[in-house]
Chains A and B, each alone.
Chain A
Amino acid sequence: MSTRFAMSTLVVLAFSARGARAQDSLVFKGADRETKAALAKIVAEASARGLPTAPIVSKAQFALVVHAPANRIVATAQAVADRLDASRAAIATDTLSADITNGEDALSFKIPKEILTRIHLVAPNRSIAVPLAVLTQLVASDVPAEHASGIVIRLMRQGATSTQLLALGNNVSSDVQRGARGAESADIRLRGLTPLLSPGGAINGDLTTSSPAATGPRKP
């Protein structure tokens, strides 16, 4: 009996691990019943569309942590779901949830989805989570989206490493927190990186930037 019982239990545990984990994510501690139901519906619909659901759950949980009102929590969760859809469409991938998630974050800062597509086209076979993250951080630091995307794409084309991109994003944030203007800081920090990078990099002709520092030689 014990062997059979143990094996039956083991078999079903293999399935229950997934369910338990998913349910653990859907606790929405502190939300009222209606809010929980609305959030669960949004998550289920996103899951059915093949979208990563963690960003929706995460944003709802954050809203609960900061005591946002119930209607705002639900509206925000729905907005995240919609942006995940748009992000996936913009970067033409349904395999790397980190890319879709960072694309959603970028869209939340009103970065146009066309910019996401441009960044994807620079590195179509690699994750663009870090470039998108740095782009978002630059925009969150008051660097205009077109200007920021020009810098990020230029760095990608010049073979910048993740570490170099991250350093740029963090340094600009730090400068802005100390009172600098975002675009000015981004240009100065880019100049600091340029000597370390391949000189062959150039921005695509279809990119527009507002800064001389971010405008490299254009391809014909």
Chain B
Amino acid sequence: MSEIERDHVLRRAVQTLQQLPGTDAEAIRRVVEAAAAQRVMPAADDPVDVSAVVPPRRRPWKLAGFAGLVAAAAVVGFFARGQLTRSAPSVSVASKASSPGAPLVATGNGEQDVRPIPQQFVFRSATARRVSVVGDFNEWNAARARMTREAAGDLWSVTIPIAPGRHTYGFMVNDSTFMLDPDTRVARTRDPDLGAEGSVVIVGRP
């Protein structure tokens, strides 16, 4: 029987985590084993509340160990998340232009240039029950940018942060019907790989 199987607390942690969305099993194993290594009391099969039997004078050390583990995981998670969001167009942090009118040719940090910029989408429909904007900035996932209808009207809108660049999009009505932007001022493009049409928005820092 492994350390984890003997310790009912760790067993419960693993069981709980198994119900969460899938993740890196190797990462879970490493973290749980690290937690097991920090264990003060010997493993017990009986469901005793560990906090009730740990000697009080040793508790701060245990908490410090876990706190250190949390801090380490937070640091690792921070960088891992940073890598991931950098690759994804639909990142969650938005910011306004920091230097309006900045010329394109200048020395500086390119990271600042690619921060997402809030972009508003508006769609008009009196009969739709649900409307979402879908595009390459949210991986065409209708659940990621639901639009809200004005209380006394037929306009639906949503504002989402989008990375600078050229993006193709459309509207998903009632989660089933894909529509291009009916605004005649909006450019349309035919996808060179698929031949399908999409509306185009070019996002840039003002």
In angstroms, Cα B130 to Cα A26, docked, is 24
Instruction: Specify which chain A residues have a CB less than 8 angstroms from the CB of B21 in the assembled complex.
Output: 16, 19-20, 23-24
- Tell me which of A19, A57, A123, A130 contacts B202 (CB under 8 A): A130
Q: Given A130-B164, A162-B205, A170-B202, check contact A23 B22 (CB 8 Å).
A: yes
Q: Does any Cβ of B come within 8 Å of A89's Cβ?
A: no
In angstroms, Cα B71 to Cα A11, docked, is 9
- A78 smallest CB distance to B (angstroms): 10
- Cβ of A17 and Cβ of B77 under 8 Å apart? yes
Q: Given A7-B66, A8-B35, A12-B28, check contact A18 B23 (CB 8 Å).
A: yes
Q: Does any Cβ of B come within 8 Å of A65's Cβ?
A: yes
B99-126 vs A, CB cutoff 8 Å, 1 = contact: the mask equals: 0011111111111011000000000000
In angstroms, Cα B16 to Cα A27, docked, is 23
- Cβ of B200 and Cβ of A137 under 8 Å apart? yes
- Tell me which of B80, B114, B193 contacts A99 (CB under 8 A): B114
Instruction: Specify which chain B residues have a CB less than 8 angstroms from the CB of A52 in the assembled complex.
Output: 86-88
A98-128 vs B, CB cutoff 8 Å, 1 = contact: the mask equals: 1101100100111000000000001101110
Size class of B's contact patch?
35 or more
Interface-lining segment among A152-160, A185-193, A203-211? A152-160
In angstroms, Cα B86 to Cα A194, docked, is 35
- Cβ of A174 and Cβ of B32 under 8 Å apart? no
Q: Does any Cβ of B come within 8 Å of A35's Cβ?
A: no
In angstroms, Cα B104 to Cα A133, docked, is 13
- Tell me which of B31, B32, B193, B202 contacts A133 (CB under 8 A): B202
Instruction: Specify which chain A residues have a CB less than 8 angstroms from the CB of B50 in the assembled complex.
Output: 1, 4
Size class of A's contact patch?
35 or more
| CB nearest neighbor in A for B137 | A58
- A196 smallest CB distance to B (angstroms): 11
- A170 smallest CB distance to B (angstroms): 7
Q: Considering the complex of A and B, which 5 residue pairs feature the smallest CB-CB distances, nearest first? A: A19-B23, A127-B113, A162-B204, A133-B166, A173-B187
- Taking Cβ atoms with an 8 Å cutoff, the residues of B that contact A are 9-10, 12-13, 16-17, 20-24, 27-28, 31-32, 35, 48-52, 62-63, 66-67, 69-70, 73-74, 76-77, 80-81, 84, 86-90, 101-111, 113-114, 134, 136, 139-141, 163-166, 168, 170, 172, 178, 184-185, 187-189, 191-194, 196, 198, 200, 202-206
15 CB contacts below 8 A, A to B, read A3-B63, A7-B35, A7-B70, A8-B10, A14-B73, A15-B28, A16-B17, A16-B23, A20-B23, A66-B194, A96-B110, A129-B114, A133-B165, A140-B189, A159-B103
Q: A12-B23, A54-B90 are in contact. List 15 more A-B contacts (CB 8 A).
A: A8-B31, A15-B73, A15-B76, A27-B141, A58-B140, A59-B193, A61-B141, A97-B87, A101-B163, A126-B104, A126-B113, A133-B165, A133-B203, A159-B105, A160-B104
